[in-house]
Structure 1
Amino acid sequence: GVMPQTEEAINHAKSAGVPLVVAINKMDKEGADIDRVKNELAAKNVIPEDWGGDTQFLPVSALTGDGVDALLEAVLLQAELLELTAVQEGPAQGVVIESRLDKGKGSVATLLIQNGTLSRGDIVVAGENFGRVRAITDENGQTLASAGPATPVSIQGLNGTPGAGDPFTVTKDEKAAREVAEFRREKLKTERLATPVVSLDNLLENFGAQAVQSLNIVVKADVRGSLEAIVSALHDLGNDEVKVNVISSGVGGISENDVNYALTAQAVIFGFNVRAESSAKRLVDAESLDLRYYKVIYDLVDDVRDALSGMLAPEIREDIVGIA
């Protein structure tokens, strides 16, 4: 059915003024009902072509692969209708789709090339990070010497994990890339300092009433995209009485430094598709810290929401049962 993230994707597409191609997944499951999904999306003003609308609906199964070829053809058809073109010559530029830390490879970033050609040995700046491209691989893990527009590739060689949605571009030399990355890093640092998560004014806005309580959290995830989604969802929680404070977040396994940070701040530690290192786990056990692992973002958010509910002050209600 239609989940909250589906509605969010629809709103993003409408805000950007771009067409939708709907892939209805898990059609291999017994009881899969494509008409129910169409009805739910039609209520969101996403009308299928066979109902008189202009949106392509494709039944697929990521498990069996059924319908995937038809989905790709539908996307290509939409691109032809929009007359999308790109420049193949010149330095590559595009957008970061995802990034992660690999134990053997270091930083691995998945990029979508929008213009130009990316080649092994190019100097790339992506968000706050930069580096020389050591290796390029396609979606099947095959090594490439270069890649052109509309091609998703994974690269190695950056000095960190750029954020999903960060622009990337090829620069003439490493010095220029470093200067751009450092400028962006300082700019973001200034913005973060100018907008703290919780200010003194926020804490004292209801002076005289019960103090605002804060739930401190350390979050580690396997990839940058998941991390950003979790942090964004957590920041949306809370109210006038309780606040969520993500004091530290990052990509990779839970380290001893993460645990020490949580110990100092009296924070809960969340690992999303990552585990704690052995030394970190021993410290967690020794200090009786709260360490939780998750594979589904909504389970993590629901647990935090429940924890916040437990921090709320009890509601005092007076019921008149009689008058003497």
Structure 2
Amino acid sequence: MSGEGAREALASVRAFGLGRPGSMVAAALLAAIALAALAAPLIATQNPFDLASFDVLDADLPPFWLSGSDPRFLLGTDSQGRDLLSAILYGTRISLTVGVLAVAIQAAIGIPLGLVAGYVGGLVDSIIARVADVQLSLSTLILAIIALALVRAGLGGETLGRLAVPLLVLVIGLAEWPYFARTARAATLVEAAKDHVRAAKALGASDSAIVRRHILPNILSPLIVVATTQVAGAIMAEAALSFLGLGLPITQPSLGTLIRSGYDLIFAGIWWVTALPGLTLVGVLVAVNVLGDTLRDALDPRLTPR
């Protein structure tokens, strides 16, 4: 895919998205959430990692639209007196970081393996395909639970707390690389049969040059679509693990830990501690999935050009 081809693909995505108001709303929502999360140190009124800054007298204050609220805490506080808005901003940043970095690991493992499997074929293809099948037959959450439990048992809870973010990134990244591998393999098989690749072989180009210059640039579209859906999956996996108590500790708020911290308080009428982070998580996941669907439809050559 040349620079002109990349620009055409980008123009196609933009034109396709402009014709779908839902896609524009999802893009705006995701951009707003991501920018707010990145600017958390500037926007947040409290550092949710600094336990000494909490005051138990400020615990369980409701959001600003309910009676009994405090203007210092727009979205209320949790049972520790932590400002919920600040915690959501920092927690969203951690959740997005885990999602993006985990998908980067998945892509770094899966794309090269998929390229090799599709281009070389034969026994190499069979081995990679079977390994991917075995990996996909195992639940990501089960693998993550086992790995994190072993780390907790071996290193202790305190060490696990310090290494929680990189461990989650590594575990989720290693668990779901087959999605990239399968997509890259299928696209490589199609691309390798095209005339321009055969011509490059006939002219004596090396295999690495063919893969790097003629195949990889032309299979990026489906891989980008996979990346968007996998980001949503990685964020959800982190939230699920943190909710189960196997992800980030309560002192490092992600959206999952925030939802878990207020779960027992819902029936006591303190619903905002769980509901507001939960709504933020739903907003992120819906926005990412809608954008993924838009990219898939816009980059699908089988659809009628728009």
What is the TM-score when the length of structure 2 is the normalising length?
A: 0.22
Structure with a larger share of its residues in helix:
2
Q: Larger relative contact order (C-alpha < 8 A, sep ≥ 6)?
A: 2
Q: Which has the larger radius of gyration?
A: 1
Structure with a larger share of its residues in strand:
1
What is the TM-score when the length of structure 1 is the normalising length?
A: 0.21
